[in-house]
Amino acid sequence: MPTGIFNARKALGARAPAPLLYRCGTWKDSVFFAGLAQVSQGDIVYSAFLQDAASAVPILLFTQDAPGFVMALSEYRGIVFTDAPTGDVWTFPRFNFFESSYQVGNVDAAPITSLIAGASISPTEAAQGQRVAGPTATNAVNVQGYAYVIALEDQSLVDGEAADLTAALGVLCISESGVPHGPVSTGFAGHAFVGEGTTPDETAIILQESDYTAAIRAAGNIFTDSNGDIFHVVGLHAIPGAGL
10-residue mean pLDDT series, the chain (244 residues) = 61 64 70 93 88 77 90 82 77 76 62 71 66 88 89 72 76 86 69 50 89 94 87 90 47
Name the residue type at position 92: F
Sign of CA dihedral 184, 190, 192, 196: positive
Contact assessment for residue 236 and residue 103, using Cβ atoms and an 8 Å cutoff: no
List pLDDT tens digits, range 101-123.
877 764 455 567 778 876 666 55
Report pTM.
Answer: 0.82
Q: Is residue 125 left, alpha or beta, with left meaning phi > 0 and alpha meaning psi from -120 to 50?
A: alpha
